[in-house]
Amino acid sequence: MKKIFTLLVVLAVQSFLVEAFAQGSVMVVKVGDGSAALSNASTSTYLLEYKTDGTLLNTYAMPTAVAGANRILTLSGTATSEGLITRSDDKRYILITGYDAAPGTATVNTTTSAAVNRVVGRLDASGNLDVTTALNDYASAGNPRSVVSTDGSAFWLSGSNVGVRYATFGATTSTQIESSVANTRYLNIFGGQLYTTSGSSGIRIATVGTGLPTSTGQTVTNLNGIPTATGSPYGFFFADLSPSVAGYDVLYIANDDATGLQKYSFDGTAWVSNGFISGSVRGLTGSVTGTTVTLFATTNTASANSLITITDASGYNATITGTPVTIATAPANTAFRGVALAPETVVTGINTPNKAKEISIYPNPARSFFTISLPDEISNYQSQISVYDVMGRVQFTDKIVNSNLYTVNQMLSPGVYFVKVIAGRNVYQQKLVVQ
């Protein structure tokens, strides 16, 4: 019987590891189906997967009708600040926010979120789409713009009039964690820190609180050295190129003004300009090989805009180089919005990390509770704990603050689970058996 159970676990995990996306491919948002000119009404929305040579691999249509617990997800046809997608920090999901409104809903951004919920779409590495998170208090009478997550279990959200908000997966309400900057644009997480861009309130690109805050009253702090009176930033991408500077030391910012793609380097105190490549862009993501950064961006025009790539091989604290190359162009009566690298499968419980990256769980096997012991080296971090079943579904999530011990009292059904802890750049994982 034990052998049969083990085989079932292995087969379940193998099923979980099926990956729908090509390695290194890029996802881009497309609004409109091409049948009519874009307007301020809600319109059908798609996630397109492209190879870096411009080959279209897959098209994922966002739902236009309610199906069970899954809601509709559409975007305004002309609100070009919407659809700024991200990839979750653990690389498992593409995240998008929009409206629970059927295509053709006029001036959809003026609707209240109570009448037209703002929703979160979560596309995983197997191509499964979840739109069960529908919020009645987010971006009311305004534009939902971006959403980011560590591992798909909780979300930070931005919008034209909401500051930054926090919600858990499947929730119907959210928490406003900062309100001093109401008009927020693109959110993302780098090095365990939440960042946002804005074009108002003396903010261009800023930290939101410390780490990954979930409570109200957070402070938004513009990065030292980034001008606050000029620029119109949207997407951004950090890179770690210099061994002599701790942490991320190069920053690329997409601007929808003439400065286009800007580059900055951190000298240990402030961010110093390394020039720009002209041309209006909004969506931005990238990858790093050695000291070469490959960037992907979407140009800023109302329709028939482009997905472009730029390779900057200049390295740390050197003037940005590279020539924009068009990968793909949106068809007539459609437009590209945000861009992100495609999701990847994260193997949990199969390829176990080395001892330095493991956590200790006791008792294991467990019954009604278990305690997680973390390495002393991360006891000062704010850590994110998640418990997954063998199909990769989140069963429990919480924060661990300034401690290396955490007891989980969640009742879990008998079976095999995987416990994952993210602390800064460190990822710790271990298998758990519940009897």
Strands 175-178, 187-190: pairing is unpaired
Per residue in 236-264, pLDDT tens?
999 999 999 989 999 999 999 989 999 99
Mean pLDDT of 222-231: 94
Half-sphere exposure of 391 (CA within 13 A, CB side): 3
Per residue in 96-138, pLDDT tens?
999 999 999 999 999 999 999 999 999 999 899 999 999 999 9
- What span, in angstroms and rounded, lies between the C-alpha atoms of 131 and 382? 28
Lowest mean pLDDT among 30-39, 86-95, 120-129, 371-380: 371-380
- Which domains, ranges and CATH numbers included, belong to the chain? 18-341 (2.120.10.30), 355-434 (2.60.40.1930)
The answer to whether the bond into 227 is cis (omega within 30° of 0) is no
191 neighbors 207 (Cβ within 8 angstroms): no
Residue 377: pLDDT band with limits 50, 70, 90: low
**What pLDDT, on a 0 to 100 scale, did the predictor assign at position 303?**
79
- 166, two tokens: 């926090």
Query: Residue 84 pLDDT more than 60?
Result: yes
Amino acid symbol at 173? T
- 288, two tokens: 């790093």
Query: Residue 30 pLDDT more than 70?
Result: yes
Q: What is the DSSP letter of 9?
A: H
The angle formed by the CA atoms of residues 39, 83 and 169, to the nearest 5 degrees, is 130
